[in-house]
Amino acid sequence: MAFKIRLLIDENAEEEIIIRCKSPSEEVLRIQSLLAASTRELELTLGEETYFIEMKNILFFETVGSKTSAHTKNNMYYTEKKLYELEEILPKSFMRVSKSCIANTAAICSIKREYTGSCEARFSDTPKKIYVSRSYYKAFKEKIVETRLK
């Protein structure tokens, strides 16, 4: 499929991106997803209200049953997205740390290795913590070092 890309410059216009297609193919949906990821906020719900939370304020996402929650220091919001969908749109500081959790490695303040091979990760200014499964530990540790060096 060939795409036509046009850039129209208008100093008075509000920025917008329009995708015009006959039907949303996988390629079009992927482009839409990538563009959505470039925004720094994520649409989440808490009760009956919708919130737009900056991704840098999200500590981690976890799935329990069929529900995916997003944790900040003080709240827990919900999203309709699955973890695999979030992995595609989240900034590079986020990574999968277990089958049911994606963590913001930039927000982690300490890690403690457990005797089972897994590890406990804690976040600043909150009692919230996550567990990193042993199969993800090595990549997680490397990502922590990479995040801290940048």
Instruction: With beta carbons less than 8 A apart as the criterion, state whether 109 and 103 touch.
Output: no
What pLDDT digit, counting tens, does each position of 35-50 carry? 665 557 889 999 999 9
CATH number at 47 reads: 2.40.50.1020
Q: How many domains does the chain contain in total?
A: 1
In a domain, 127, yes or no: yes
Q: Tens digit of pLDDT for each residue in 39-83?
A: 578 899 999 999 999 988 999 999 999 999 999 999 999 999 999
Question: Could you give the 3-state DSSP secondary structure of residue 120?
Answer: strand
- 99 in a structural domain: yes
Residue 14 domain flag? no
Name the more confident of 97 and 22: 97
**In this predicted model, what pLDDT tens digit does every residue of 108-134 receive, in sequence order?**
999 998 887 789 999 999 999 999 999
Question: What's the pLDDT at 17?
Answer: 79
Integer-rounded Cα Rg, in Å, for the chain is 18
**16 falls within a domain:** no
What's residue 36's pLDDT?
A: 63
pLDDT beyond 90 at 150: no
In a domain? residue 135: yes
- Identify whether the C-beta of residue 140 lies closer than 8 Å to the C-beta of residue 132: yes
Nearest one of 83, 79, 1, 81 to 46, comparing CA atoms: 79
* Residue 109 to residues 42, 59, 106, 121, 127, Cα–Cα distance (Å): 23, 11, 8, 8, 12
- Answer whether 101's CB lies under 8 Å from 130's CB: yes
Is 143 a domain residue? yes
Confidence (pLDDT) at 33: 66
On whether residue 23 sits in a domain, the answer given is no
Is residue 139 included in any domain, yes or no?
A: yes
Q: pTM value?
A: 0.72
Structural domain including 50 reads 40-149
